């Protein structure tokens, strides 16, 4: 998924909830839905490194506890 698709998925999930989200909670959900693409910082090193490791650990279940912690901390 590209960042736009991640954001749209987060927005759709927030609006489809039993009590639809809006405002700040919805914005936070959209922001957190972009977390798997945090590996974009690898492109600062080089495009080759980014392409090699993109959709690696940040898109895995191994990172899920970190994303949950981040959501709780915010």
Taking alpha carbons only, the member of 45, 55, 50 closest to residue 6 is 55
Of the pLDDT bands very low, low, confident and very high (cuts 50, 70, 90), residue 12 is: very high
pLDDT at 1 over 80: no
pLDDT at 29 over 80: yes
Kindly report the pTM of this predicted structure: 0.66
Q: Is 72 left (phi over 0), alpha (psi -120 to 50) or beta?
A: alpha
- For the chain, give every domain's residue range: 3-73
């Amino acid at each position: 998924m590209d960042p736009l698709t991640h954001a749209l998925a987060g927005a759709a999930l927030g609006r489809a909830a039993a009590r639809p989200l809006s405002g700040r909670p919805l914005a936070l959900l959209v922001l957190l839905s972009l977390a798997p693409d945090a590996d974009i910082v690898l492109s600062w090193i080089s495009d080759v490194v980014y392409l090699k490791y993109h959709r690696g650990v940040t898109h895995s279940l191994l990172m899920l506890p970190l994303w949950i912690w981040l959501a709780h901390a915010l």
